[in-house]
């Protein structure tokens, strides 16, 4: 039996459903939930997280927030892959690259998931369980619940850390994303927001359109960031947030082919990993 049952809380639809199901006794009781803040989440997510924390206090399940830097400012300050600038190490985001001389297309390796999500979450799980750094934790001693629904079951993985085991309650119960939304509606709860960094390169065109049309301030933030990453040091090409490899505000979102979407426009707490 695990010593600790903890939810990796992305504050999106699926992980929020798991959290509230546990609060209401429809799932086993969690010991805690942990949200890893990249520093660049949509306002709706922070507002929703506050609501979840209130529910956690009501039902006795604490919600903790951990943060390791600010993904947006770190990317703009560092500008050189893998190097420290002003004490900041940039864990690269998966930007789309267009060669300046040869026009070749590529994509930067994604390191941000581990740096801003997985690593701080694992440290917090260890702290909640009462283990100091480097202290040995029994195999499978911490059970981490993850918000992946049955329609996204391909994203389910096995933990790479021996002392952590993953549990997917929505998959076990055959619950998809639509059923999660219905669960909230049936109980008169507000609807959870989509959860992903404002400027995540894995947004689909649908998500970029939603950001542009419904959240103009966040859209402008993403557009400004996209301009700021164009000439990253050490790169032989220009970097972009969109697969079209043109400035974000020039992408014909209503007409262009569908952009890659890694996790159905949402983050399960570990960016789909």
Domains of the chain: 4-250 (3.40.50)
Segment 240-262 shows an average pLDDT of 80
pLDDT value, residue 268: 42
pLDDT value, residue 224: 97
Segment 44-62 shows an average pLDDT of 98
Q: Are 180 and 168 spatial neighbours (Cβ–Cβ below 8 Å)?
A: no
pLDDT value, residue 74: 86
pLDDT value, residue 62: 98
Segment 223-235 shows an average pLDDT of 89
Strands 4-8, 32-37: pairing kind: parallel
Segment 3-29 shows an average pLDDT of 97
Query: Given a cut of 60, is residue 39 above it in pLDDT?
Result: yes
> Rounded to whole angstroms, how far apart are CA atoms 40 and 42?
7
Query: Given a cut of 50, is residue 211 above it in pLDDT?
Result: yes
DSSP 191-210: PPPP-S-TT-TT--HHHHHH
Query: Given a cut of 70, is residue 83 above it in pLDDT?
Result: no
């Amino acid at each position: 039996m695990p010593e600790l049952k903890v939810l990796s809380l992305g504050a999106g639809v699926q992980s929020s459903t798991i959290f509230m199901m546990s609060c209401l006794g429809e799932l086993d009781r969690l010991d805690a939930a942990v949200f890893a803040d990249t520093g660049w989440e949509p306002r709706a997510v922070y507002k929703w997280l506050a609501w979840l924390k209130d529910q956690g206090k009501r039902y006795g399940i604490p919600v903790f927030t951990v943060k390791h830097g600010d993904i947006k400012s770190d990317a703009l300050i560092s500008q050189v892959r893998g190097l420290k600038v002003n004490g900041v190490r940039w864990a690269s985001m998966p930007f789309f690259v267009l060669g300046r001389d040869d026009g070749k297309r590529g994509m930067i390796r994604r390191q941000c998931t581990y740096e801003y999500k997985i690593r701080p979450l694992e440290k917090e799980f260890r702290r909640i369980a009462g283990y100091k750094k480097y202290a040995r934790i029994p195999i499978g001693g911490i059970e981490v619940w993850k918000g992946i629904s049955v329609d996204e079951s391909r994203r389910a993985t096995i933990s790479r850390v021996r002392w952590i085991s993953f549990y997917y309650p929505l998959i076990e119960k055959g619950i998809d994303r639509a059923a999660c939304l219905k669960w909230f509606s049936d109980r008169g709860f507000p609807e959870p927001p989509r959860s992903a960094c404002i400027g995540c390169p894995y947004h689909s065109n649908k998500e970029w359109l939603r950001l542009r049309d419904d959240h103009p301030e966040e859209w402008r933030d993403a557009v400004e960031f996209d301009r700021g990453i164009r000439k990253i040091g050490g790169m032989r090409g220009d970097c972009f947030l969109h697969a079209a490899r043109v400035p974000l505000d020039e992408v014909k979102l209503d007409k262009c082919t569908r952009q890659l979407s890694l996790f159905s426009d949402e983050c399960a707490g570990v960016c789909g990993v």
